[in-house]
Amino acid sequence: MSLISSWLRLLHGPGSFEGLMASHVEYLYRVAYRFCGNNQADAEDLVQDLLIKLYPRVEEIRALEHLRPWLVRVMYRQFIDQVRRNKRSPLYGADDVMKLEIAADEGQTAASLLEQERLQHQLLTAMNALNEEQRAVVSLHDIEGYTLQELEDMLETPIGTLKSRLHRARAKLRGVLEPFAGPERDTDSEEEKWTASN
C-alpha cells in the first residue's frame, strides 16, 4: 500500500470511503488511462466521476469481498455509457479538431526515439484506433492480466463476444507491428548465413 493510501486510511478510518478506495484509485486510473486511449484528462474525468458516483454507496462497497473487479466493472459501464452519449453529439467527431489531433500524433513520433519506444508509440497509437470495447478487453486481458472467464463476469459480456473482440483487436495491432518486424527477421537470416559460412 502506498504512503498516500496508508495516510488516507489513517486519517479517515479503514471503513471510510477514502480508507476503502485509496489503494484502488491509482489502479483505476491506470485502467481508465488505457480505456481512454492514453488520454490523461479523460482518464482523470472517468475516475473522478466514478468516485463521485460511488461515494453514497460506501455501505455496499464495504460489504464487497472482491472490490477491485467490481470497481473495474462499474467504471467500464460508466465508460461505455459516456462513449455512447458522446457519440450522439454531432461535435464528437468534428473534422477540424480530429484532423488537428491526428496530424499532431504523427508529428509526435520523433525520429530520435529509440526503436522500442517507437514500437510502443506505434502500438499505443494503434490501440487508440481500436473501438472502445476492443480497447477495454485488450487492456484488461492482455495488459492487466484478467482471464476471459473473469472478464465475462466483470464486463457482463459472453465469453464468445469477448474472444471475438480480442481476436479482432489483436489482428489490428499485429498489422501495425508487422512493418517493424523486418529488421528482426533480417538479423535472424544474417545469423543463419554467418552460421552456415562458419
Partner 1 sequence: MDCKQLIVLLEDYLDGQLGEVEAADCSNHIQGCNVCRDRVRGAQRLRSMLRTLPRTGPRFGFVAQSLAAARAAHRDGRRLSFTGAIGMALSLGLVAVVLMHEWPAQHTDTRETTLASKAGASEQTNMQFVNVSMLEHRNVRLVFDVPRDLDQVKLKIELPDNVVLAKSKSTRQLLWQTNLSKGSNVLTLPIQAVGYGEGVLSTVLIHNGGQKTFRLRLVTDPDSTMIEKPTNVLTI
Please choose, out of 66-74, 128-136, 150-158, 171-179, the segment that lies near partner 1 by the rule CB under 8 A: 171-179
Of these, 9, 33, 72, 155, which contacts partner 1 (CB under 8 A)? 33
- Within 120-139, which residues bind partner 1 (CB under 8 A)? 120, 123-124, 138
DSSP string, 141-176: IIIS---HHHHHHHTT--HHHHHHHHHHHHHHHHHH
- For residue 113, state whether it binds partner 1 (rule: CB under 8 A): no
C-alpha cell at 188: 535472424
- 189: exposed, middle or buried (Cβ count in 10 Å: 0-12, 13-18, 19+): exposed
Q: What is the DSSP letter of 15?
A: T
Q: How far is the CB of 139 from partner 1 (least distance, A)?
A: 9
Q: How far is the CB of 105 from partner 1 (least distance, A)?
A: 8
Q: How far is the CB of 148 from partner 1 (least distance, A)?
A: 7
Cα distances (Å, whole numbers) of residue 110 to 15, 97, 107, 121:
48, 22, 7, 10
> CB of 61 within 8 A of CB of 67?
yes
Q: How many Å apart are CA 14 and CA 9, to the nearest integer?
A: 5
- Residue 154: count other Cβ atoms within 10 Å of its Cβ: 20
Beta carbon nearer to partner 1, 50 or 76: 50
Q: Which residues bind partner 1 (CB under 8 A)?
A: 2, 4-5, 8, 17-18, 21-22, 25-26, 29-30, 33, 38, 40-45, 47-49, 51-52, 54-56, 86, 88-92, 94-97, 100-101, 103-105, 119-120, 123-124, 138, 142-143, 145, 148, 163, 166-167, 170, 173-174, 177-178, 181
